[in-house]
Amino acid sequence: MSQVVIALGSNVGDTLANLKEAVSLLEKEGCGVLKKSKLYQTEPWGYVDQDDFLNGAVLIETDTPPFELLDVTQGIEKTMGRKKLFLNGPRNIDLDILIYEDEEIESDRLTIPHPRIGERLFVLRPLMDIVPDMIVPGLGSVKELYDHYHGEERVEETDLTL
């Protein structure tokens, strides 16, 4: 079994219900959820003329290989009705594989660890909740990335849970 970190985000519809449904669908696909982060309200990144996001992350355990797990996460997005209108646009659900054990993959379809993991506080903050000591291959620990983050994103902890 491999330990994998998946980021979740939503800014369309009932964002909390969207995130909970995505976690439930991951579990139905055989992914054992080991830890869930707190949820954070975050400003949009990239395209900013849209509603705030609700973001979190889960640590899962799975036997599913990386590219097949990508198919699973994209299938969940499709099942939930995600429509990709444009890059960084509004979405009811977004699932990103951030870390897959000590794997380093770079392909047209999948890059692990996620290529911008250290540049996004809305990713780092939830990771600090669940895997602060986890090593991000080629980059150091989550805590080191968090401690060296210098951006100015607004990331507010909520009282909501997955």
pLDDT at position 90, please?
Answer: 83
Task: Name the active-site residue from 52, 71, 96, 102.
Answer: 96
CA distance linking residue 84 with residue 99, whole number of Å: 23
3-state secondary structure of 46: coil
94 is catalytic: yes
pLDDT tens track for 73-130:
999 999 998 877 766 778 899 999 999 999 999 999 999 999 989 999 999 999 999 9
Element (H, E) at 66: helix 66-79
pLDDT at position 35, please?
Answer: 98
Q: What is the mean pLDDT of residues 46-68?
A: 93
pLDDT band at 34 (very low <50, low <70, confident <90, very high): very high
pLDDT value at 1 more than 80: yes
96 is catalytic: yes
**What is the total residue count of the chain?**
162
4 to 8, 64, 101: CA distances (angstroms): 13, 10, 6
Q: Which CATH class is domain 2-161?
A: alpha beta
Task: Name the active-site residue from 52, 82, 129, 133.
Answer: 82
pLDDT band at 50 (very low <50, low <70, confident <90, very high): confident
pLDDT at position 86, please?
Answer: 62
pLDDT at position 55, please?
Answer: 97
More confident residue, 14 or 50: 14
pLDDT at position 45, please?
Answer: 79
CA distance linking residue 54 with residue 115, whole number of Å: 21
**Domain regions of the chain by residue span:** 2-161
Q: What is the mean pLDDT of residues 67-73?
A: 98
More confident residue, 57 or 83: 57
pLDDT value at 47 more than 90: no
Task: Name the active-site residue from 51, 94, 125, 147.
Answer: 94
